[in-house]
């Protein structure tokens, strides 16, 4: 039986929380996260930002296009997004992943609305037309990229949806200054959006318990401690900690990096009982 939440009986000053669902959890574990989000929207105004990297790669291969990855001189691995790959990213993220999350929430009685950062527009980005990459110990320039760096965020549309009782679900696609659609990093987009709407917390949901060092979970970090550790962190976690630091730097009070495979990951993160907690 479908039960709709009565927003008129709820307070208008509920805390705002950004939940970033990583692409690694957008397959296995997604229903676990969505179940908990549905339980939490009664007490919090939740905005979901999601990734979709694995889904982009899967669709690319099905369409006969092998994904290409580069490593930046600073050690960050990223996808080369030519125009065709950008279009595939639109299909995978703004299409499949976004509507999958919306449908799962809707089935659980949550009035969710799926948009991309280009709607509004909410996210305005500078297109990275050329990339400087590390290749065999040397740096070289790669042109024709359709990824971007978020430079402006307008939280108007998101706040309108929240105040009307909807749960926004946002794909990390932005509008460039030249009017092009560009793929942007979901973690950093979530950080910027958290600041724009005045969120009290950013919860980054992935497929590992949090920041692991020497096979031990780091339960709490200050921003200064995280900065000192950043070079020791590898893989996708490096990007998440980098985005968490960006969120703290621009004024988001609290970031939690947690596993979406654990029981009640959002509820436990809100209580600071799960994952790695990063503060100023």
DSSP code per residue over the chain: ------GGGS-TTPPEEEEEE-TTTSSTTHHHHHHHHHHHTTTSEEEEEE--HHHHHHHHHHTT----EEE-TTS-EEE---HHHHHHHIIIIIIIIHHHHHHHHHHTT--EEEEETTTTT-EEEEE--EEEEEETTEEEEEE---EEEEEEE--HHHHHHHHTT-EEEEESEEEETTS-EEEE-HHHHHHHHHHHHT-SEEEEEESSSS-EETTEE--EEEHHHHHHHGGG--HHHHHHHHHHHHHHHTT--EEEEEETTSSSHHHHHHTT-SSEEEE-
CATH of domain 12-279: 3.40.1160.10
110-144 confidence digits (pLDDT tens) = 999 999 999 999 999 999 988 888 777 788 888 98
65-106 confidence digits (pLDDT tens) = 999 998 887 777 889 999 999 999 999 999 999 999 999 999
Does position 222 have pLDDT exceeding 90, yes or no? yes
β-bridge pairing 123-127 and 173-176 = parallel
Distance CA 115, CA 11 (A): 25
Q: Which has more confidence, 6 or 58?
A: 58
pLDDT confidence band for 268 (50 / 70 / 90)? very high
Does position 2 have pLDDT exceeding 50, yes or no? no
Does position 35 have pLDDT exceeding 70, yes or no? yes
- State residue 115's pLDDT score: 99
Work out the mean pLDDT of the chain and round it to a whole number.
Answer: 92
Does position 4 have pLDDT exceeding 70, yes or no? no
Residue % of the chain over a pLDDT of 70: 95
179-217 confidence digits (pLDDT tens) = 999 999 999 999 999 999 999 999 999 999 999 999 999
Does position 151 have pLDDT exceeding 50, yes or no? yes
- State residue 13's pLDDT score: 66
CA 259 distance to own-chain centroid = 14
- Look up the pTM and report it: 0.92
pLDDT confidence band for 248 (50 / 70 / 90)? very high
- State residue 240's pLDDT score: 95
Domain boundaries, the chain: 12-279
């Amino acid at each position: 039986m479908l039960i709709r939440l009565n927003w008129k009986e709820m307070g208008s000053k509920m805390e705002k929380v950004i939940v970033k669902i990583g692409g690694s959890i957008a397959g296995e574990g997604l229903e676990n996260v969505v179940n908990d989000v549905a339980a939490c929207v009664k007490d919090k105004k939740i905005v979901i930002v999601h990734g979709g990297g694995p889904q982009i790669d899967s669709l690319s291969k099905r369409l006969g296009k092998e994904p290409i990855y580069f490593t930046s001189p600073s050690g960050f691995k990223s996808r080369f997004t030519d125009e065709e790959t950008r279009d595939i990213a639109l299909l995978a993220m703004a299409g499949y992943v976004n509507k999958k999350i919306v449908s799962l929430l809707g089935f659980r009685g949550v009035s969710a609305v799926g948009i991309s950062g280009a709607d509004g527009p909410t996210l305005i980005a500078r297109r990275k037309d050329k990339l400087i990459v590390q290749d065999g110990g040397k740096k070289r320039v790669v042109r024709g990229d359709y990824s971007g760096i978020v430079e402006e965020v307008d939280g108007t549309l998101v706040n309108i949806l929240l105040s009307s009782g909807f749960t926004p679900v946002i794909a990390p696609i932005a509008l460039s200054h030249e009017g092009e659609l560009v793929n942007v990093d979901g973690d950093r987009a979530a950080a910027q959006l958290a600041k724009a709407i005045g969120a009290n917390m950013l919860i980054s949901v992935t497929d590992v318990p949090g920041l692991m060092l020497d096979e031990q979970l780091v339960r709490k970090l200050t921003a200064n401690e995280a900065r000192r550790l950043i070079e020791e962190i590898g893989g996708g976690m490096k990007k998440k900690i980098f985005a968490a630091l960006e969120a703290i730097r621009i004024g988001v009070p609290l970031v939690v990096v947690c596993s979406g495979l654990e029981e009640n990951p959002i509820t436990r993160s809100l209580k600071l009982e799960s994952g790695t907690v990063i503060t100023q």
